Amino acid sequence: MISAEKARQLLCDFNIIATPALSLDKIFEHYNIIYDEMDYGNKNYMGSLIRAEGRQIILVNTDIKNVGRINFTKAHELGHFSLNHKGEQFECSRTDLMDNTRKPLEIEANQFAKEFLLPEQMVKPISISASFDFDTIKAISNEYMVSKLVAVFRMLDFHSGNYAVIGSKDGLVAHLGISKSLIGKINFLKSGDSIRNNSFAKECMVSDFRMTGYESIDPKTWVTRNKSGSAISLKEYSRADKSSGSALTLLKVSFL
Ligand SMILES: [Zn+2]
């Protein structure tokens, strides 16, 4: 994986041993990259890398208010630069920065950003030893200055347990990630599917109900197909942010 190796090389070259996001501006300065924020007038754009007249410019949409998302966008654009992606201008949309994009260069820039902001050697130990819950997500998100979604997806890369993560927006699945152990065995709701009414995620969204741990749930609420050959039980732990209409759901699968 060249993109992750490139990110590790950069971390090594700049002797970065903690919170890589804090070193982004120093790296921009070193490579004479001009960084600025710009009003794109379009919420679908996250950021750009522009090469013009021997100069490099990285722009991030002023519409993004979350520090974690700003950092991911900056690291993604730095990825296009560091990986020497050919082209004068990269205009990166919300979809390009999502985990399920199919464009090869965007996938590479995302892999670079993930490894740069959440290096395996720093994040793997805590991902393995700590509980797969919102306390750990918050700890990683705060320490590495990334969004909770980026933090939990990175935890999935390393965790050996049977977990899935579903991010939803306005009642529809927007993000899905599963741990390696579930690949090819269990299918979950996919992007664009509606969250079921009997889910805790829905309950959290429409009432003041707040979960403090995993609770048993009918597997059919989230699982669309079980190809494992074993019966399963499912536990859900969801948190909702009613103001933005988004929810984050952690699912733990047990094979019976
Ligand atoms: Zn991009």
Average pLDDT, rounded, for the chain: 94
The domain total for the chain is: 2
In the reported structure, the alpha carbon of residue 197 is separated from the centroid of ligand 1 by a whole-number distance in angstroms of: 36
Q: What mean pLDDT comes out for the span 51-55?
A: 86
In the reported structure, the alpha carbon of residue 129 is separated from the centroid of ligand 1 by a whole-number distance in angstroms of: 33
> In the structure, what pLDDT confidence band is assigned to residue 241 with cuts at 50, 70 and 90?
very high
CB within 8 A of 63, min separation 6: which ones? 39, 40, 43
Residue 152 lies in a domain: no
Q: What mean pLDDT comes out for the span 234-256?
A: 95
**Whole-model pTM?**
0.92
Q: What mean pLDDT comes out for the span 4-16?
A: 96
pLDDT of 109 reads: 96
pLDDT of 103 reads: 92
> Which residue segment(s) compose the domain that 191 sits in?
161-255
In the reported structure, the alpha carbon of residue 52 is separated from the centroid of ligand 1 by a whole-number distance in angstroms of: 17
Q: Give 149-155's long-range contacts (Cβ < 8 A, gap of 24+).
A: 149/175, 149/248, 150/68, 150/72, 150/114, 150/117, 150/118, 151/118, 152/177, 152/248, 152/250, 153/99, 153/114, 153/177, 154/114, 154/118, 154/123, 154/127, 155/123, 155/127
pLDDT of 104 reads: 92
Residue 153 lies in a domain: no
In the reported structure, the alpha carbon of residue 225 is separated from the centroid of ligand 1 by a whole-number distance in angstroms of: 33
Query: Given 89, 104, 120, which residue is the final one in a domain?
Result: 120
pLDDT of 52 reads: 87
pLDDT of 206 reads: 92
In the reported structure, the alpha carbon of residue 56 is separated from the centroid of ligand 1 by a whole-number distance in angstroms of: 15
Q: What mean pLDDT comes out for the span 153-170?
A: 94
105 and 184 co-located in one domain = no
pLDDT of 100 reads: 77
Residue 125 lies in a domain: no
